[in-house]
Amino acid sequence: MTITYREALRTAIEEALRRDDRVFLMGEDVGYYGGTFAVSKGLVEEFGEDRIRDVPLSESGFVGAGIGAAMGGMRPIIEVMTVNFSLLALDQILNTAATMLHMSGGQFNVPVVIRMATGAGRQLGAQHSLSLENWYAHIPGLKVVVPATVDDARGMLWTALEDPDPVVLFEHAGLYNREGELTLDGEPVDLHRAAIRRAGTDISLITYGFHLFTCLDAAEELAQRGVDAEVVELRSLRPLDTETFIDSVRKTGRAVVVDDGWKTGGIGAEIGMQIVEEAFFHLDAPIRRVCRAEVPMPYAAHLEQAALPQVDDVVEAALHLVKPHV
């Protein structure tokens, strides 16, 4: 069945609400408005205002309330609209949700799922085009997942709700309208394993989220130039499945990491260092990174696209590593 990423997320929330009476959705405009990205459209009519809760414009307040509800036995799904607004709740996420199990000596889990849109490409300017999933992946006590396919958009939510600890789920806003083939029948999806989305032998393209499709398109273009690229989708940034991408690099001998965030201090740097530590002697060329430009995101469409990783950027980086050898 072909559905959009948005429809997959709505289906996941709807199924969770039906499966477990403890599940409820809360966030800004998630009720009768249907959510800023229309993910929760129609849910309040079916499940009522007790389980689809509109909240005031106070991220710290409603995220804190959701954390308290989780500690009290509920299974809240908190929608923070966009990642930039989550900074107003960072104290609750970092200093409460992520640390509570440790600080309580193992007495209190916080089984909360926090959803938010991330990413640029929609001309929303510097404040609404951030990709800060790297920041959250830095925090012990959190799981950070980045579904890119409709299967993962549907299946990861239920797995996250079953987790006893907080899970932050990043949805790239550029994916909401993207269609895909739903192949799984609603079963939970492993949050801990990366996926090989395209097998190859010459170079590994390692990425997550929206840029899975950038890398798949780049791999097709590289194939026309005689380069067989393997595409590794991380799916989770914490925990990071190092085994899968290390095995890929050991096979291909070359790696390009495509990161939606800034290069400085980004997840691409972490992946590169993991490769150096675990597979240095398998490398036939230096690791390359393709990231967004180190600037606040421009509003103008042509400048925004110039600041973001593009297919041509990935192809150029890969050919730089492979060309002398093919």
* Catalytic machinery residues: 59, 128
List Cβ neighbours of 204 (8 Å cut-off, separation of 6 or more): 229, 230, 232, 245, 248, 249, 251, 252, 254, 255, 256
* Cα distance between residue 240 and residue 272, in whole Å: 12
Whether residue 45 contacts residue 76, with contact meaning beta carbons closer than 8 Å, is answered with no
Closest CA to 146 of 111, 112, 116, 182: 116
* Cα distance between residue 117 and residue 58, in whole Å: 17
Alpha-carbon distances, residue 53 vs 36, 100, 266, 322 (angstroms)? 14, 25, 35, 53
DSSP H or E run through 195: strand 195-198
Burial of 87 per CB tally in 10 Å (0-12, 13-18, 19+): middle
